[in-house]
A and B are shown apart, each in its own frame.
Chain A
């Protein structure tokens, strides 16, 4: 009789092996491990056995029961898994269809570059100080060492405000902010950047705009040297343009002396010469210099005790250089096809 328990198990398992649908599985369950199934029938035989055989037979019957129940659950799971797989595989997606992108807004590229500049200088302890766009001749020119009718004024094609006898103008640079920042911060040392919109009387073209952002920087302290100017601006260039050579050489601004232009090695041709760098191998990034003693004085600082440096750069120009933009009119043209690329 023991043999038939093993035979039962073998037969049941062999049958189960080919079952892959829920109905057949249910039939199988009823047949073997159901209440009136073959396994229970085994147990019913126990009482008919001699006492001595009952123990071994019962043990075998229990083993068969456990084995078949385990096999049933395993198969049940396997069928579920297989059905699910089949169902899921029946509806594949074409993953190359375009994704549905969320409605996302973006910052204007000018804002993005300004933020990048704030961040880099912020890490070096610079604070952002904004000053006015419509300026007086006094602050914009005279206090910056550019007297009336001075030839240096040729460098700033300026918009004037009517009815003010040219005493009021649209600032053509952020440098008047130097005076305002110094007067605000005196007698503390100064380490600030002054961003904002500037205006120049230009023919609008791919290269020139009548309005543009500038970021001015000013540092005033007791031990500020031209070496600090070079070091600070070199760090800035490294963060903004990556690890590449910079060079400083003579420039001229009436409000700094000595003055220097900073170039970085061309980011396209790495110095070999290309259209972007006009075959010079270098890109002009900013103007800078040691704050002129007269300007320090006009800001309230005694030039015999204090010294400082200042610099100015154009975020739109930097954006153009970094992203290969050849037409500055894109910025205020605000075509979404342009803006969406940032």
Chain B
């Protein structure tokens, strides 16, 4: 909200420099977001960028046109002489269309040679210095200025004509210069939505008193019916008060310059005197008003006294509003009607049929208070935001209804030549109740942490126009002023006290209260542990949007149209956003992978341009699953409505693609013929990065590492066929009896949908909560043997379909305690093995905890292993 300081001064003395004043308001909750300087210099450290051109007090003045003469060489130019109260009138050439030959007496803005002004002929704001020049042969050193040249507006059609009472010779900076505060009005500051409202806050903060207009009287109450109008309210909840005044014989014309200036500076465009007056009162005093053409109301009442009825709209009821649109209403809209139907949307916009036009003679001035919730709803539905709707939508106290209307009527008398009917039509069904609030020194101590006496509290509250009804040593009984409806409890009063007393005066303390029981957050701690393990494994954590769209997730399946949607493919109805920002973010995700693949793809594209197309990333985050009947989740409140909220299980997903390591530099030496032909080994060549492309087992290794790091030891990987994965290259992770996730190589068609490079993309997604549920809070560390080891290799030939995990499991089971370690070191297929066979070669390490193992002991165990494998999987020992 824009507040011109010149206007603020009508109500309160300004005792502080502008920047301090702005800080004071900001600290009290009226955040000054910007300060605009018009014609006056901004301080060097001014906030924002609107420190505009300062009007030189020695060079730019209020002047008066003495004479306007024809230019000898140009029809469109005029030679003018302007008096500015100091010696002889100044002569210059002007092209202003609003000055004609023969004019005299107009008050204008005179800029003397050397003035710095904005160039009126250039786009935007470019500063120029006024220099002596010849315009079509006539010398001219000064200028009469347009608004654009002064930086007041973009207006450059004609020069400024100041009001007749503008004091000639006054520096313009003193006459038109201003500072405009742009204040952010929080919802709790409904009372400050006017210049007067801000003045009241400022007065309290700087210990000044507010000056109100003489006619201001918030106690005045009229009667619902007068000889010119009858007012009916059908529901006091919708319309808390409706008052009307009649102003006869107005002359519709532009409003005076000063009023136009104030409106412009506060951000509204002048229209005509009657409309401007209603806006002026709204901006100045916070009360939106509406002017009806009274005669059109009488006409609609067939010559009778009109009856205005405020009521809820009927569903489907229509009216053309004064913006020319025909609007349709429903039962939660408030309409101002007469016998013929609606004449206005309460508080939002009038009807076109009864609007004030140039021929309007008699004005019925409406001042009413509507239910702010209804106003807000209608404003949003009809898409009719306005200064009035904003103010109504935050609530205006009914007690503040009549005084501003009286003021407006008075201005119409003064500026539009009208005569005000003395009677006040005023339907006020439920008068505002001012609450009585108790506040104690104990409250102040308990909540604010400071000691204030009741006398100190009373003094603070009096500055805010509170009435002190009773006061003793420990407590006060107070009433807030009638212009405040936001204060109705002790907590509100405490906020007033701290705002005026000063937040900085409260001493900082550390919490002395008892600590709550330390229950910790094991789920979070484990999740963080999982993150640590994964970054140690070389993966980058990413965080992607929770939003996606169903088609995007469906792409994860190579057969998107099939009903087969195994984990993690979306299998439930989506949590759909009612007001999405775009179609591609219309639902909440059911799987992490699609958005992650977007990120992998964009990074791989960028990487292939500069370095290695390699991705190794993970994400931990929630997915959103619409609940099925009876499903519950930890943290649910004991309320039925929680079932409307989706489950938010946390998932972990991984993506790997590209070489195992980033490319690194290498050095080769060239060997001359004289040297021997054996390539020289140089230390730089000894370690090359492993550029082998990552495959399924790289991903599996990371998952195994994670599980080992979390001390989960009941993991099994079983082959699966899954529409997301390359056939034969996918597994499910099973912990105990539970499938907790899948991993594998992305199906090539799926990979292509994400435009990923032509290399294997390994992905996995897991139910993180299910994994973490299997961690061992306590695990036992095995002792280390001091005795020598016996190492033996065996190579086994088995059928192709025998799973390695099964072979290893049999080896371990059979080997028992003496078999210390089993390591697969080779998988071989091909000659001389028959097709359908493969060879698995293991290194077995035997060691006993408590004695030196003999070769024969080891050989016995090895023999048992071979026998078992022969029996169970038909293995044969590979010789040689």
Q: Which residues of A contact B (CB under 8 A)?
A: 91, 93, 97-98, 100, 102-108, 110-111, 115, 124-125, 127-136, 138-139, 148-152, 154-155, 159-164, 166-168, 170, 180, 183-185, 188-192, 197, 199, 201-204, 210-211, 219, 221-228, 230-232, 234-235, 247-252, 254, 257-260, 273, 278-280, 290, 292-293, 307, 331-332, 334-337, 339-340
A149→B377 contact, CB < 8 A = yes
A136→B510 contact, CB < 8 A = no
Q: Which residue of B lies closest to A200 (CB)?
A: B581
Which one of B511, B521, B545, B633 contacts A127 once the chains associate, using CB atoms below 8 Å?
Answer: B521
Which one of B495, B518, B581, B648 contacts A257 once the chains associate, using CB atoms below 8 Å?
Answer: B495
Highest count of chain A CB atoms <10 Å: which of B448, B508, B575, B606 = B508
Highest count of chain B CB atoms <10 Å: which of A152, A249, A290 = A249
A280→B545 contact, CB < 8 A = no
B543→A334 contact, CB < 8 A = yes
B575→A108 contact, CB < 8 A = no
25 contacts between A and B (CB under 8 A): A102-B538, A105-B534, A105-B536, A105-B537, A108-B542, A127-B518, A129-B521, A132-B648, A133-B622, A134-B624, A136-B645, A138-B641, A139-B637, A185-B516, A191-B511, A197-B546, A197-B621, A226-B448, A230-B503, A247-B504, A250-B503, A258-B448, A290-B447, A334-B544, A335-B602
Residues of chain B within 8 A (CB-CB) of A252 are 29, 186-189
Residues of chain B within 8 A (CB-CB) of A188 are 516-517
Question: Can you name 8 extra interface pairs (CB under 8 A) apart from A224-B513, A331-B543, A332-B543?
Answer: A110-B543, A151-B187, A161-B575, A161-B578, A197-B621, A228-B449, A279-B45, A290-B494
Which one of B513, B536, B545, B637 contacts A223 once the chains associate, using CB atoms below 8 Å?
Answer: B513
A108→B662 contact, CB < 8 A = no
Tell yes or no: B395 within 8 A of A by CB.
yes
Q: Which residues of B contact A (CB under 8 A)?
A: 26-29, 45-48, 186-190, 372-373, 376-377, 393-395, 445-450, 489, 491-492, 494-495, 498-499, 503-504, 506-521, 523-524, 528, 531, 534-547, 575-581, 585, 588, 599, 602-603, 606-607, 616-618, 621-622, 624, 633, 635, 637, 639, 641-642, 644-646, 648, 660-662, 664-665, 667, 682-684, 687, 689
Residues of chain A within 8 A (CB-CB) of B499 are 250, 258
A166→B373 contact, CB < 8 A = no
**Considering the chains assembled together, what is the distance between the CA atoms of A166 and B380 in angstroms?**
15
**Measured between C-beta atoms, what is the minimum distance from A272 to chain B in Å?**
8
* Known A103-B661, A136-B642, A180-B637; contact A189-B189, beta-carbon cutoff 8 A: no
A232→B492 contact, CB < 8 A = no
Which one of B494, B513, B645 contacts A189 once the chains associate, using CB atoms below 8 Å?
Answer: B513
Residues of chain B within 8 A (CB-CB) of A185 are 516
**Measured between C-beta atoms, what is the minimum distance from B452 to chain A in Å?**
13
Residues of chain B within 8 A (CB-CB) of A290 are 447, 491, 494
**Considering the chains assembled together, what is the distance between the CA atoms of A97 and B683 in angstroms?**
13
A134→B516 contact, CB < 8 A = no
A111→B28 contact, CB < 8 A = no
Which one of B372, B513, B618 contacts A222 once the chains associate, using CB atoms below 8 Å?
Answer: B513
Q: Which residue of A lies closest to B662 (CB)?
A: A103
* Known A161-B576, A180-B635, A211-B547; contact A135-B511, beta-carbon cutoff 8 A: no
**Considering the chains assembled together, what is the distance between the CA atoms of A210 and B538 in angstroms?**
30
Which one of A221, A278, A307, A335 contacts B447 once the chains associate, using CB atoms below 8 Å?
Answer: A307
**Measured between C-beta atoms, what is the minimum distance from A298 to chain B in Å?**
11
**Considering the chains assembled together, what is the distance between the CA atoms of A188 and B514 in angstroms?**
10
**Considering the chains assembled together, what is the distance between the CA atoms of A190 and B516 in angstroms?**
6
Residues of chain A within 8 A (CB-CB) of B662 are 103
**Considering the chains assembled together, what is the distance between the CA atoms of A335 and B376 in angstroms?**
42
Which one of A164, A231, A273 contacts B45 once the chains associate, using CB atoms below 8 Å?
Answer: A273
